[in-house]
Amino acid sequence: MIDMNEKTPEESFKKHISIDDLSSFEWRILKYMCSVTGIYDTFPEILLFHRTDLKASIDSKFSQEYLQKEGGAVYKFTMNNVMGSLIDRNAVEIVTEYEYGNLNMALYGRKKKLKEMCDELKKYEIRDFILIDKLFPKNV
CATH number at residue 34: 1.10.10
- The pLDDT value given to residue 37: 76
Task: Label residue 33 by pLDDT band (50, 70, 90).
Answer: very high
Strand partners, 106: 97
In a domain? residue 140? no
Instruction: Find the farthest-apart pair of alpha carbons in the chain and give their distance in angstroms, rounded.
Output: 46
Please provide the distance, in angstroms rounded to a whole number, between the alpha carbons at the two ends of the chain: 34
**Nearest-angstrom CA–CA distance, 5 and 2:** 8
**Nearest-angstrom CA–CA distance, 107 and 24:** 21
The structural domain count of the chain equals: 1
pTM here is 0.87
pLDDT in tens, 34-71: 999 778 889 999 999 999 999 998 999 888 888 888 88
In a domain? residue 84? yes
In a domain? residue 29? yes
Over residues 92-103, the mean pLDDT reads 90
- The pLDDT value given to residue 89: 95
Q: Which domain holds residue 46?
A: 11-131
**Nearest-angstrom CA–CA distance, 125 and 35:** 13
Least confident range of 1-10, 20-29, 95-104: 1-10
> Side-chain half-sphere of 94: how many Cα atoms within 13 Å?
14
